Amino acid sequence: MYFATLAASVLASASLAAAANFSVLVGANGLTFEPNNITGAVAGDTVEFLFYPKNHTVTQSTFAAPCSPMSSPAAGVDSGFLPVQADATERPAWSFTIQDASAPLWFYCAQGQHCVEGMVFAVNPTEEKSMDMFVAAAKASGDAAAAEGASSAAGGASPAAAGASSAAGGAAGSSTVPPTATAVGGAASAASASTSSSAQAVGAAAAESVQENGARQVLARAATPLLAVGLLAGLIL
């Protein structure tokens, strides 16, 4: 018993020591993720996204369908829409922890035409499934969507709830900073705590104290206002 406990704590310490935190800017210079891909990420690493003005998402997709939310083998993670005013001084943050780095992970922005204009992101792209190929597929998918007359607003917003409730697909998301009182409640993750202004915003806007393991429930509850915000913004942007 004692040995098992000791072994578990040693393993936990080892994984903590190895974990890295990648930082990505969302929309800092146009419809971009900067950088648009990271490599060498391993399970346990965290990817933190800082949101710049307009109204973007980080939504998990697949290599085969870059601009559609991942639904198989399970729903992917999704930040939901995080609107940021042009004169905002605080950057909402959202992060996820990589659960499985054995295959690349693919993401896009679900706002309007952002994805088909190339606003996509990847973790550990490979030679066989490269970033260039993913960007090209995202842009090409716009042609297909236009031909079908597909509406992107609803498709981008609805997976927020599904993504929030699932840790499958190699990534577990946690939302951190509400840019407005109606947006996502905070999660006390190590990644978000690195942004001091973010932590302050969480304290001011969160109606209740949120434990780290409560992040998904909070995100799920926030999905409805996010849906409304996203749809509204989809009409504007």
Contact residues: Cu ion, CB under 5 A = 56, 109, 111, 114, 119
Minimal distance in Å, beta carbon 235 to Cu ion? 15
Nearer to Cu ion, 156 or 170 (CB): 156
Residue with nearest beta carbon to Cu ion: 109
Nearer to Cu ion, 68 or 111 (CB): 111
* Cβ partners under 8 Å of residue 234, min gap 6: 111, 112, 152, 153, 156, 157
Nearer to Cu ion, 115 or 219 (CB): 115
Nearer to Cu ion, 28 or 150 (CB): 28
Q: What is the C-alpha separation between 204 and 201, in angstroms, rounded?
A: 5
Minimal distance in Å, beta carbon 84 to Cu ion? 11
Minimal distance in Å, beta carbon 54 to Cu ion? 6
SS in 3 state form for 85-119?
CCCCCCCCEEEEEECCCCCCEEEECCCCCCCCCCC
Minimal distance in Å, beta carbon 78 to Cu ion? 13
**CA 236 from chain center: how many Å?**
22
Q: Are 153 and 234 in contact (CB under 8 A)?
A: yes
